[in-house]
Structure 1
Amino acid sequence: MLGPILLAAMQFIPNATTCADSGNLPQQMMNACAAWDFEQADAELNATWPVVLDYVRTHLSEEFAWDERPSGEERLRAAQRAWITLRDEHCGVWAYHMRGGTAEPLLFHACKTRMTRERIEELRALMIEDQ
């Protein structure tokens, strides 16, 4: 027979309502909410990316083709690849505060969420014209 907490965890679906007060949830559910929160931030990043990329292609690539340096698009793509590696590795280390514990996934996903939201703002800041 399954205990009530395990049964609740099996039926738990993370969303804005179920995760609204995740601090009062059992650890497995808090971990699920942290992973869900990261998925939301990552979806926002993925929606922001093509808009920023289009802006960089239009405003920061073509007019400088004469100087033989990488285009704005090439540099942005390289920066994004490097940033993803940095985020994932940094958050992996950050999660070691609870290495091997049940809260390790919570720290990992919370870190990735924070860094992803910060990155969204950094990318949006690139689209400011005539600074």
Structure 2
Amino acid sequence: MPTCVRCGKCCTALHLLTVEAQDVARWRHEGREDILRRVGETPDPGEEGGTVHEVWLSPRADGGGSGGGDDGHCPWLRRTPDGLAACAIHETKPARCRDYPAGCEQARRIGCMALP
């Protein structure tokens, strides 16, 4: 499994993502309206009654997701003074982000500098 070197490629190269319902439920429980404003919910065409949770959408004035990202980068990406990537929602980031990368090949595809 690659070791993160905080290059930030995952936050800049991976654009609109989807998250699990458990992530959304956790954010609701935590009262994280700042995160929820960037989540859109649409019907899942592959699952009757299911929902797709698209994330990092630009927030609308009414607090919902707009359907388009600001610049394509994760809005929670921050840079430390020494240029390393940092996640502003690290303590509650989605499972997809916590589990990234799944392996060296996935990391290499986006130019991630993670070390095996």
Q: What interval of TM-score do these two structures reach, taking the shorter chain for normalisation?
A: under 0.3
TM-score (structure 1 length as normaliser): 0.23
Greater strand fraction, Structure 1 or Structure 2? 2
Per the normalisation by structure 2, the TM-score is 0.25
Q: Structure 1 or 2: larger helix share?
A: 1
Flag the structure with more relative contact order, 1 or 2, with Cα contacts below 8 A and sequence separation at least 6.
2
